Amino acid sequence: MRKHQSTALGRSMARFFQEYLPALRGMSHHTIQSYRDTMVLFLRFAAAETNGSVESIDVSDINADRIGHFLTSLEVERGNSIATRNARLAAMHTFARFLISEHPEYMDTLQLVVTLPFKRGARVAPVEYLEEPEIKSVLARIDRRTPAGRRDYALFSLMFNTGARVQEILNLRICDLRLVSPCQVRLHGKGNKVRLCPIWRNTAQLLQELINTLHPPSDNPAEQRVFLNDRGTPLTRFGVRYLLRKYVDMAAGEETTLAEKSIHPHSLRHTTAIHLLKAGVDIATISQWLGHSGLNVTMRYARADIDMKRQALEQVFPDVMSSAKDQTIIAYDGGMLGWLRRL
């Protein structure tokens, strides 16, 4: 097996993620993971553009032209919004400034990266969410007879139940769950804020079955992540996006409205918020429920739908998690990408 040689970029990236961002900048775990995702996307793009491997990318390969091509690919090929594109650019700005201090010999090239402008014209996109028949159809496409299917069903049921951010769900450890009455989960949100969220009894039962049947033995089981892939390592945001896209595409044959929507993991958070609002839950409670920084963030859901009067929370999705009878996941890349994935 060929052994990869450490590059200057690889060594700098290790210091960037392990020392600079958490210690010197004091950035939260969520922000660091967002920066990590940006670097994963960029490294893959740069490797493809240079017809090389990820491990062969070095500091000299980071320049304004390549970053510009990368940003264009995010919008054109991945369909990212201007806001997402600008967030990726902000991460690259921070990394370029760090590289200047590490490799001043590349200052001229890296300064051009830092001066790349943010794109104007970012607009608040319509809130995409799922109606109840669409939720049922998506969940019905999950084959609960397989271990992966049981995990996926528990994963998306919990996301619908809590409205949590996808990374909050993926960071859940078994010790964060209370699966006896009153059932609840402890979520670690942005800014290292912690909040408790109630869950339905059938959601708790799904999670208990998942832990009992699919988790490998461990010396410290309470610290294990709840959602693991088929290799026993934590599921990733990219994996969740892939799985959701697969089930939405399958359900679109029955619920044709799904084909007209751009559904991604954050859409499940929107779905919970909209249905809580329709059920008559007040804005302040929803804001605390979702872990928003303020009421202004939550108010966009009030503008997203005019049908505000339905049933209370316990009646929002009464039949979604049916007692149906009891797929593959994107694998971790090796080398540098594998290391970034495991941060």
Catalytic residues: 165, 190, 266, 269, 292, 301
The tokens describing 281, both together, are 């839950």
CB-based contact 149:206 (threshold 8 Å): no
Sequence-ordered strand ranges (E) for the chain: 177-178, 184-188, 194-198
Q: Count of CB atoms within 10 A of residue 7's CB?
A: 17
**DSSP states along 264-306:** -HHHHHHHHHHHHHHTT--HHHHHHHHT-SSHHHHHHHHHH-S
CB-based contact 341:333 (threshold 8 Å): yes
CB-based contact 318:312 (threshold 8 Å): no
**309-343 burial string, b = 16+ CB within 10 Å, else e?**
eeeebeebbeebbeeeeeeebeebbeebbebbbee
